[in-house]
Amino acid sequence: MLGYILRRVAVGIGLVYLVLTLIFLALHLVPGDPALLLLSQGDGASATPEAVERVREQLGLNQPLLVQYWDFLSGVVTGDLGQSFRTSQDVAAAIGERLPRTLELVGLATLIAVVLGIPWGAWAARRGGLVDSTTTTLTSIGVALPVFVFGSVLILFFSLKLAWLPAGGFASMGEDPGRHLQLLVLPAIALAVGFTSVIARMTRSAVQEMLHADWVRTARSLGLSRRRVFRRYVLRNSLNPVVTVIGLGVGTLLGSTVLVERVFNYPGLSSLLVDAVTARDYPVVQGVVITIAVLFIAINIVVDVIYGVLDPRVRR
Partner 1 sequence: MSGSLLQLEQVEVSFRSGKSWKQVTYDVSFDIAPGETVALVGESGSGKSVTAMSILDLLPAGTRRSGRILFAGEDLVAADESRLRQIRGSDVAVIFQEPMTALNPVYTIGDHLLEAIRSHADVPKEVARTRAVELLRQVHMPDPETKIDHYPHQLSGGQRQRAMIAMAMSCEPKLLIADEPTTALDVTVQAEILDLIVELQRRTGMAVLIITHDMGVVADVADRVVVMREGRVVESQPVRSLFNTPEADYTRELLEAVPRLGSHADVAAPPPPGEPVLSLQDVAIEYAGAWRKAGFRAAEGIDLDIAPGEIIGLVGESGSGKSTIGRAAMGLLPVAAGRLTVGGRDVSAGGRTDLHHIRRHVSMVFQDPASSLNPRRTIGQSITDPLLWTQGVRSRAERRRRAAELLDMVRLPGAWVDRYPHELSGGQRQRIGIARALATKPALMVADEPTSALDVSVQASVLELFTQLQQELGFSSLFISHDLSVVESLASRVVVLRQGHIVEQGPTLEVLRSPREDYTRALIAAAPVPDPDVQAERRARRAELVG
Per CB under 8 A, does 51 bind partner 1? no
Q: Which residues of 91-114 are buried (b: 16+ CB within 10 A; e: fewer)?
A: bbebbeebbebbebbbebbbebbb
Contact 35, 61 (CB under 8 A): yes
Residue 281 or 304: the one with the smaller Cβ distance to partner 1 is: 304
Would you say how long the chain is, in residues? Answer: 316
Three-class secondary structure of residue 17 per DSSP: helix
Does an H or E element contain 139, and which? helix 129-144
Per CB under 8 A, does 213 bind partner 1? yes
CA 103, 105, 109: angle at the middle one, nearest 5?
115
C-alpha distances out from residue 109 to 150, 201, 246, Å: 14, 17, 11
Smallest gap, in angstroms, from Cβ of residue 5 to partner 1?
18
Contact stretch for partner 1 (CB under 8 A) within 100-108, 196-204, 215-223, 278-286 = 215-223
Per CB under 8 A, does 226 bind partner 1? yes
Residue 28 or 231: the one with the smaller Cβ distance to partner 1 is: 231
Residue 66 or 222: the one with the smaller Cβ distance to partner 1 is: 222
Per CB under 8 A, does 214 bind partner 1? yes
Per CB under 8 A, does 220 bind partner 1? yes
Backbone angles phi, psi at 83, to 5 degrees: -115, 150
Smallest gap, in angstroms, from Cβ of residue 256 to partner 1?
33
Per CB under 8 A, does 311 bind partner 1? yes
Per CB under 8 A, does 217 bind partner 1? yes
Contact stretch for partner 1 (CB under 8 A) within 30-38, 116-124, 269-277, 307-315 = 307-315
Backbone angles phi, psi at 90, to 5 degrees: -65, 125
Positive or negative: CA dihedral 276, 278, 283, 288 = positive
Smallest gap, in angstroms, from Cβ of residue 309 to partner 1?
10
Smallest gap, in angstroms, from Cβ of residue 21 to partner 1?
21
Three-class secondary structure of residue 48 per DSSP: coil
Per CB under 8 A, does 312 bind partner 1? yes
Smallest gap, in angstroms, from Cβ of residue 92 to partner 1?
36
Per CB under 8 A, does 221 bind partner 1? yes
Site string for partner 1, 228-257 (x = CB under 8 A): ----xx--xx--------------------
- Please, what is the angle between helix 49-59 and helix 282-310, to 10°? 30
Contact 222, 288 (CB under 8 A): no
Per CB under 8 A, does 224 bind partner 1? yes
CB count within 10 Å of CB 33 equals: 14
Q: What is the CA radius of gyration of the chain?
A: 24
Backbone angles phi, psi at 235, to 5 degrees: -65, -45
Per CB under 8 A, does 310 bind partner 1? yes
Residue of 219, 235, 285, 299 that binds partner 1 (CB under 8 A): 219
Contact stretch for partner 1 (CB under 8 A) within 16-24, 104-112, 150-158, 219-227 = 219-227
Contact stretch for partner 1 (CB under 8 A) within 75-83, 221-229, 255-263, 293-301 = 221-229
Residue of 74, 133, 137, 218 that binds partner 1 (CB under 8 A): 218
Residue of 50, 212, 227, 278 that binds partner 1 (CB under 8 A): 212
Three-class secondary structure of residue 88 per DSSP: coil
CA 217, 218, 222: angle at the middle one, nearest 5?
115
Binding site for partner 1 (CB under 8 A): 212-215, 217-226, 232-233, 236-237, 310-313
